[in-house]
Structure 1
Amino acid sequence: MKREQGKKWRNWAETHEGKPESTFYPSSVDEVVAIVKEAANQGKKIRVIGAGHSFTNLVGTEQWLVSLDQLTGIEQIDEATNTVTVFGGTRLYQLGKELERLGYAQENLGDINVQSIAGAISTGTHGTGLSFGNIPTQVKALTIVTATGELLTVSEEENADYFKASLVSLGAFGIIVKVKLKVVECPVYEYRCEKVNYPLFVEKLDNYIKNNRHFEFYIFPYSDLVQVKRMNISENKPERLFFHHCKDLVMENYLLYVLSTGCKWFPKRSRMISKLLAKGISETNITANSHQLFATPRLVKFTEIEYCIPLHYLKPALDEVRTCIEEKNHEVHFPIECRVVNADDIWLSPSYKRESAYIAFHMFKGMPYESYFSDMEAIMRKYEGRPHWAKMHNMNQEDLQILYPKLPDFLAIREELDPNGMFMNEYLEEKLGKVRVEKEPMEMG
């Protein structure tokens, strides 16, 4: 098994870095079990790293870091039940390609597909479309290596008391080595992109949400133009996407980088650049397999906050966001990404028990973001916003206890499965609470 000493890690956004004592690269479940048992013997803490697409310090550790990059691929597919079992380190783009060869696809994905399946599940990654939940709702079963080195399978049928807690667990229950997912026969989608004036967009918003299988939109600061993206089932044959992907690379990456660098040097140009980006939206109509359309290459680095609010607050929240940016004259040019997700019953899911709108705010890497994010967070709090677990936020333990009614039950299971906090780190203890390890009483003599 590959093991590296003192290798520095850094997350994708370069907001956090660290130098763990050891980094392990297991290629089998047995090797993961061996790592955990040895960590228990030595009293070491473990965190697991995937693609590093969390903007927070979720994986930060000075002790042992485990990468599942060599524990990947499809183990089994069950055509009778439309389920597939994959190893935890499998990246979403890799899974999409492998499933396509078998005639299947995940029912929904986010706009980034480089995450590992275990990481996407553990942080509540989501796509869009009110008929669909977030990615954890696609899970039928998980296999977890717990702090004792035992394999724990959780599902609706097996160890069911743990199931809804384990689906968004932030890695606090153990290491997810296998995931059993429900899949669908590979759909072909028609993808439409257009720009709409904001007043007309608001009038049509409910219709967009209700009458499209997948729907998302982008609000541009200081502009009345909204970018609307829709995907629906098509009977047409898939097209070649070479020119579409080239356009994405040029417009949403290379050109965006040049313009963003200009904003970084001359922040007061942000208003002008945002309007320019909005005017540059081109109308698109293409047909392709679903997994080819969900994600967009993201080469331009940024910082991000994202909040999930009850869907019925979406319109007033958008109005307040637009007004605040204008009044405070925030120097921001990145568009605001908005998606919709169905309610679920996963304990730490931001969509727990409510149809939801997710609103994401971005700032180009290296530009000051504190004032902008603080004002946007204040608006999201007003509308009962729950933070995306992989995005930056300033919620404390008391805030999270109010927002997540099942959090105390989640913490009870965490303490049961990992009483010594092997899978905790400083960031998780800050957000969830410190691990209380009871020491054996000393004998007097």
Structure 2
Amino acid sequence: MKTAQGKRWRNWSKTCECTPEKILYPSSIEEVVSFVKEAVKQKKKIRVVGAGHSFTDLVKTDNWLVSLDLLSGIEQLDEAASTVTVLGGTRLFQLGEGLGQEGYSQENLGDINVQSIAGAISTGTHGTGLEFGNIPTQVVELVIVTASGEVLTVSEEQNPQYFKACLLSLGVLGIIVKVTLKIIRTPIYEYRSEKIEYPLFVQQLEYFINENRHFEFYLFPYSDLVQVKTMNITTHKPQRLLFHNLKNLILENYLFFVLSEVCRLFPKSSPTISRLSAMAVGTTTITAKSHEIFATPRLVKFREIEYCIPLHYFKSAIQEIRECIELKKHKVHFPIECRTVKADDIWFSPSYQRDSAYIAFHMYKGMPYEEYFREVEAIMQKYGGRPHWGKMHSLGKKELHACYPKLPDFLAIRHELDPQEIFLNDYIKKILIG
């Protein structure tokens, strides 16, 4: 098994860093079992990292950090059952490409596809569209290595008492080494992006939500323009995406990086840059396969906070957010990303038992974000918000227990599966146990 000692680790956004005693790269389930048993003997803590796209200290450790990058790949595609079984370290873009070659895809994805499937499940990664839940709702079966070194299969049929807890667990119930997912025949989508005046958009919000398979929008601070993106199944043939991808790379990454640097150096320019960005949104219509179009490159570094609120508060919340930014004159130019997700029954899911609106706030790296995030977080909490587990938030044990009625049951299972707390770190103890 490959290992690295004394190596400094940082997440993508550089909001978390640590120097683990060693970083382990297992390439088989047997190797995972072996080092878990060894960790118990040596009384070491273990945290597992995927792509490092969480903004919090979820995986921070000075003990053993585990990467599943070498435990990767599609193991089996079952056409009769419409499922695929993949190893835990498989990145979403690898899964999309592999499924696409066989004419299949996941039913929904987020706007970033570099995460590992185990990490996406463990933190509740989501896409958009009120017909669809977050990525954990696609899971049929999980195979985890528990703190005792047992290889445990968890599904509705096998060990069902653990299933709803394991579907979103922050990595504290065991190491996800294998996943079986529901899949669908690859649809061809018509993707459309356009800008709409805010007053007209608000009137049409319910229509956009209910009449599109996938729908999201971007609010631009200090602007009355809204970018609306929709994706719906079409019978048209997919296009070549070279020009579209090149345009996204140049405009949404390289040019936006330059504009962001201007805002960092001259914060008072943020409102102007935001308005210019909104005006630059053109009308785009393309057709493509799902795995080619859900995600876009994200090269510009930022900080992010994202909350999930009940869907019926959506309109009130975005209006209050716009008013807050203008009243407090927050120096922010990043657009606010807004999506919808179907209710589910996963204990730790932000969408637990409610159709949901997800609202994500970003601040460019190097720019002060604390006051802005504090203000918008207060608005989200006012509307019953639950934080995305992979994004920044200020909630502790008391607030999270109020958000998640099944948290006591989750903690009971955590204690049962890991009584020696080898999968905990200080951050998780602080927010869940106190």
TM-score bracket, normalised by the shorter chain, equals over 0.9
Deviations 1:371-405 (A, max 9, x none): 00000000000000000000000001000000000
The aligned counterpart of 1:360 is 360
The aligned counterpart of 1:295 is 295
Deviations 1:28-78 (A, max 9, x none): 110111110111111110000110000001000000011000000001111
Instruction: Return the letter of the residue paired with 1:169.
Output: S
Counterpart CA distance in 1 for 2:28 and 2:99 is: 21
Counterpart CA distance in 2 for 1:35 and 1:79 is: 35
Equivalent residue runs for 1:12-91 within 5 Å: 12-91=12-91
Counterpart CA distance in 2 for 1:373 and 1:297 is: 24
- Alignment of 1:430 with 2:430, yes or no, is yes
- Alignment of 1:262 with 2:262, yes or no, is yes
The aligned counterpart of 1:95 is 95
The aligned counterpart of 2:185 is 185
- Alignment of 1:277 with 2:277, yes or no, is yes
Deviations 1:106-147 (A, max 9, x none): 000000000000000000000000000000000000000000
Shift of 1:364: 0.1
Equivalent residue runs for 1:316-331 within 5 Å: 316-331=316-331
Paired residue total: 434
The aligned counterpart of 1:252 is 252
Alignment partner of 1:394: what SS? coil
Instruction: Return the letter of the residue paired with 2:402.
Output: I
Instruction: Return the letter of the residue paired with 1:126.
Output: H
Deviations 1:203-233 (A, max 9, x none): 0000000000000000000000000000000
Instruction: Return the letter of the residue paired with 2:84.
Output: V
The aligned counterpart of 2:194 is 194
Deviations 1:334-355 (A, max 9, x none): 0000000000000000000000
The aligned counterpart of 2:235 is 235
Instruction: Return the letter of the residue paired with 1:91.
Output: R
Counterpart CA distance in 2 for 1:4 and 1:280 is: 46
Once superposed, which parts of structure 1, at least 4 consecutive aligned residues long, lie more than 4 Å away? none
The aligned counterpart of 1:208 is 208
The aligned counterpart of 1:340 is 340
Alignment partner of 1:257: what SS? helix
Alignment partner of 1:142: what SS? strand
Counterpart CA distance in 1 for 2:190 and 2:10 is: 37
Alignment partner of 2:193: what SS? strand
Q: Give the % identical residues.
A: 68
Alignment partner of 2:303: what SS? strand
Shift of 1:301: 0.3
Shift of 1:282: 1.1
Deviations 1:314-364 (A, max 9, x none): 000001000000000000000000000000000000000000000000000
Deviations 1:296-316 (A, max 9, x none): 100000000000000000000
Counterpart CA distance in 2 for 1:49 and 1:385 is: 26
Instruction: Return the letter of the residue paired with 1:361.
Output: F
Shift of 1:102: 1.0
Instruction: Return the letter of the residue paired with 2:156.
Output: E
Deviations 1:254-306 (A, max 9, x none): 01000000000000000000000000001100000011111010000000000
Alignment partner of 2:178: what SS? strand
Counterpart CA distance in 2 for 1:7 and 1:25 is: 13
Counterpart CA distance in 1 for 2:272 and 2:154 is: 52
Counterpart CA distance in 2 for 1:391 and 1:366 is: 17
Instruction: Return the letter of the residue paired with 1:183.
Output: I
Shift of 1:19: 0.3
**Which runs of 5 or more structure 1 residues have no equivalent in the other structure?**
435-445
Cα-Cα RMSD: 0.5
The aligned counterpart of 1:135 is 135
Counterpart CA distance in 1 for 2:6 and 2:418 is: 26
Counterpart CA distance in 1 for 2:76 and 2:249 is: 34
Alignment partner of 1:72: what SS? coil
- Alignment of 1:123 with 2:123, yes or no, is yes
Alignment partner of 2:354: what SS? coil
The aligned counterpart of 2:163 is 163
Deviations 1:149-201 (A, max 9, x none): 00011001100010001000000001000000000001110000000000000
Instruction: Return the letter of the residue paired with 1:396.
Output: G
Counterpart CA distance in 2 for 1:151 and 1:329 is: 53
Instruction: Return the letter of the residue paired with 1:379.
Output: I
Counterpart CA distance in 2 for 1:403 and 1:2 is: 40
Alignment partner of 1:296: what SS? coil
Counterpart CA distance in 1 for 2:271 and 2:66 is: 43
The aligned counterpart of 2:351 is 351
Counterpart CA distance in 2 for 1:362 and 1:23 is: 30
- Alignment of 1:217 with 2:217, yes or no, is yes
The aligned counterpart of 1:440 is none
Counterpart CA distance in 2 for 1:314 and 1:102 is: 38
